[in-house]
Amino acid sequence: MYTKAVAIVTGRSDFEEFKTLAREAGYEIVDVVKVRTLRERGLSEQKLRELKEKMERTGATEVVCDTDLKPKQVYNIAKEVKTAPKTRIEIILEIFKRHSPSKEADLQIKLASLQYELARAREKVRLAKMGEQPGFYGLGSYEVDVYYNEIKRRIQSIKEKLEEIRRKREIHRKSRGRMVLRP
């Protein structure tokens, strides 16, 4: 089952490749909004209207973008269409998560997601405090440092879990090595 999405496509990338990535992540691109470049605030008023119209006409519930977006661009688009757009990086992380073969892989993907989030955390919280941001439930009440530190704490916790998995793997590897050497 695929989630219907409208794609924001810049002229810089290969649309067919992006369409394949989106499909692999579980999105069916039902329409496209083409832009030459993204403005500092995201999309122009005309392009935002076009995006909203295409979402209503097609019944799409998500927005995917073939490039990375700044937190301010995400905020401005989300404020208009009531859903935060997924960037190319987020789509790739979703694909990895869908196909992760082990607990260790899941943790590594979660770590990458949190590190991506950490780089944008301060700006996202600042924007959320300015007004309610869809997909960012309740975080407007958090202080910036509390949110930032929570992400850092979760990153540290995941790193510790990954280190424990690596230690166990090394112990098992040494144990197997000793078993092979016995006559």
Closest CA to 85 of 130, 126, 107, 55: 55
Cα–Cα distance for residue pair 52/77, rounded to 1 Å? 10
- pLDDT at position 140 over 50: no
Per-residue pLDDT reduced to its tens digit, 2-57: 999 999 998 766 888 999 999 999 999 999 999 988 888 888 899 999 999 999 99
Contact 64, 85 (CB under 8 A): yes
- pLDDT at position 131 over 70: no
| Least-confidence region, from 82-86, 119-123, 139-143, 156-160 | 139-143
Paired tokens of 56: 């209503």
6, containing H or E segment? strand 3-10
Cα–Cα distance for residue pair 72/127, rounded to 1 Å? 7
Mean pLDDT of 143-162: 88
Angle CA 58–63–69, to nearest 5: 155
Per-residue pLDDT reduced to its tens digit, 66-125: 988 888 888 889 888 999 999 999 999 999 999 888 899 999 999 999 998 888 887 777
